[in-house]
Amino acid sequence: MANAMDTMTEWMNSKVGPMATHLSENKYLKAISGGMMQSMPLTLGVALIAIIINLPIPGVSDFLQSSGLAQCGTELIGSTMSLLGIYISWLIAYQYAKEDGTNPITAAVLSMASFLALVPSTVTVSEDSTISAYMSNYLGSDGIFVAIVFSIFVASFYGFLTRKNIKLTLPDSVPPMVTDSLSPVFSAMIIFGVIFLIKWGFTFTQWGNVFSFVSQIIAAPLVGVSSSPWTNLIVFTACNLIWFFGVHPNSILSVVYPVIIAVNIENQAAYLAGDPMPHAMFGLVGLCCYFGGTGNTIGLCLDMFTARSEKFKAMRSLMTIPNIFNINEPVIFGVPVMLNPIFFIPMLFASIVPGLIGMALCSVLPISYNPTISLPFAMPSFVNALIVGGPMYMVVLLICMASSALLYYPFFKIADNQAYEEEQALAAAHAAE
């Protein structure tokens, strides 16, 4: 077994390690990941309001409706989470420009303006009547992929033009604030010219605009495949695997996060409209695959309460509380789980087993899932489940946690017995001195 693990470790370090490092250092992926992370104040900032206006308590919900609080809360969610494309177009371009060494504010402004310029603003209300308006779906669910692609395009194109010295040169006597504002004028003209041609070109196609093209040709198939609950099992298993070998799972999560955002926005739009959510199972199973940190190591922490060795008795008091709040670096590096042959199998199946159990239970139990609620990363998973899906969903997650503890238990006992025997041998050696 040791030889097999050595061979696997060598292969992962030589093949997977460099690949993951390259992905984590890629400035395009770093910009997308950073921009998405920067959008979290929007989703988390309205989380409490989303919880309050959706409280499933008859008397309270009636009051919220009659007082107008529910309507105001719905509009607030609509202007934040449902318009995420606008904010993402700014944030990703800003992050990219910082990586690229150009003016991030200018890149962000050009990106957001380009995104809005691509949105159709003439809406037909009848055969002979139109109004000027933006379709909210283009700014939200149907606009996420366009926002990502064009924020990177505009920011990188702006960086290219800047390095080619295509800018308005002003005398040194002009104040720096004025110079910074006017120097990118020529670059802006070129960028908006390209955006204009793209917008005009799509009017000759069957889609009519770039949003419909991306939604039908690119986003819909991608979301269709990626929004399957089975995708959660695959993605989080891959995260567990590379985390076992010491590679941070963000290198994978940063790639799939845009898809998760798009799927969640579709669920939100359907939920707010009172329609069936197209990807409800995806959201429900996701939490069953990932709780207590990558590898669902909360199960291992629970097993430590059966420890015989002083090592694990001491560790459980130090590691369990952080793990409850989804921080499991102390477990990964302290037990250690990383590169420890004993824990390879439970890490590999740590998302598969609870994920399958969660999928089965969520398919048959009455769970009221609210996708508009977005809670902080450090929120304990069982509390997250209670707020997002109600008591029944919390029970499902607790069952998944128990399955994780059972999965880790036989392997933990091996490690615990080894530690106990080492401690006994060391105590006997000291006694013999």
Q: What is the mean pLDDT of residues 195-224?
A: 80
Please name the residue that has the structure tokens 């670096």.
329
Cα–Cα dist 357/80, whole Å: 34
3-class DSSP state for residue 7?
helix
Name the DSSP class of 68.
T
Q: Which of 94-108, 164-178, 265-279 has the highest mean pLDDT?
A: 94-108
Instruction: Specify whether the CB–CB gap between 20 and 242 falls below 8 A.
Output: yes
**342: how many CB neighbours lie within 10 A of its CB?**
17
Token representation of residue 138: 């283009």
Cα–Cα dist 90/295, whole Å: 33
Cα–Cα dist 34/45, whole Å: 18
Cα–Cα dist 157/191, whole Å: 8
Compute the half-sphere exposure of residue 148: CA atoms within 13 Å on the CB side of its CA. Answer: 26
Mean pLDDT lowest among 85-89, 138-142, 229-233: 138-142
Residue 311 CA: distances (Å) to CA of 217, 222, 304: 56, 47, 10
Q: What is the mean pLDDT of residues 283-297?
A: 86
Element at 129 (helix H, strand E)? strand 129-132
CA 171 to chain centre: 46
pLDDT grade for 56, boundaries at 50, 70 and 90 = low
Token representation of residue 53: 């206006």
DSSP 210-224: HHHHIIIIIIHHHHH
Cα–Cα dist 333/323, whole Å: 13
Q: Which of 414, 418, 402 minimizes the C-alpha distance to 298?
A: 402
DSSP 233-286: HHHHHHHHHHHHTT--THHHHHHHHHHHHHHHHHHHHHHHHTPPPTTHHHHHHH
**167: how many CB neighbours lie within 10 A of its CB?**
16
What's the whole-model pTM score? Answer: 0.64
pLDDT grade for 194, boundaries at 50, 70 and 90 = very high
Q: Which residues of 211-238 are buried (b: 16+ CB within 10 A; e: fewer)?
A: bbbbbeeebeeebeebbebebbbbbbbb
pLDDT grade for 1, boundaries at 50, 70 and 90 = very low
Torsion of Cα atoms, 43 then 44 then 49 then 55, to 10°: 100
**304: how many CB neighbours lie within 10 A of its CB?**
24
pLDDT of residue 350: 92
**pLDDT per position as a tens digit, 396-420:** 999 999 999 999 998 898 888 888 8
Cα–Cα dist 45/140, whole Å: 17
pLDDT of residue 36: 74
CA atoms 211, 108, 255, 25: torsion sign: positive
Token representation of residue 267: 């669920």
3-class DSSP state for residue 122?
strand
Token representation of residue 376: 């902080």
**pLDDT per position as a tens digit, 27-45:** 887 787 778 778 767 766 7
Instruction: Specify whether the CB–CB gap between 235 and 256 falls below 8 A.
Output: yes
Mean pLDDT of the chain: 81
3-class DSSP state for residue 178?
helix
pLDDT of residue 96: 93
pLDDT of residue 300: 92
Helix, strand, coil % in the chain, rounded to nearest 5? 75, 0, 25
Instruction: Specify whether the CB–CB gap between 33 and 254 falls below 8 A.
Output: yes
Token representation of residue 301: 């922490």
Element at 288 (helix H, strand E)? helix 280-289
* Percent of the chain whose predicted confidence (pLDDT) is above 90: 22
Cα–Cα dist 51/383, whole Å: 13
Cα–Cα dist 325/304, whole Å: 17
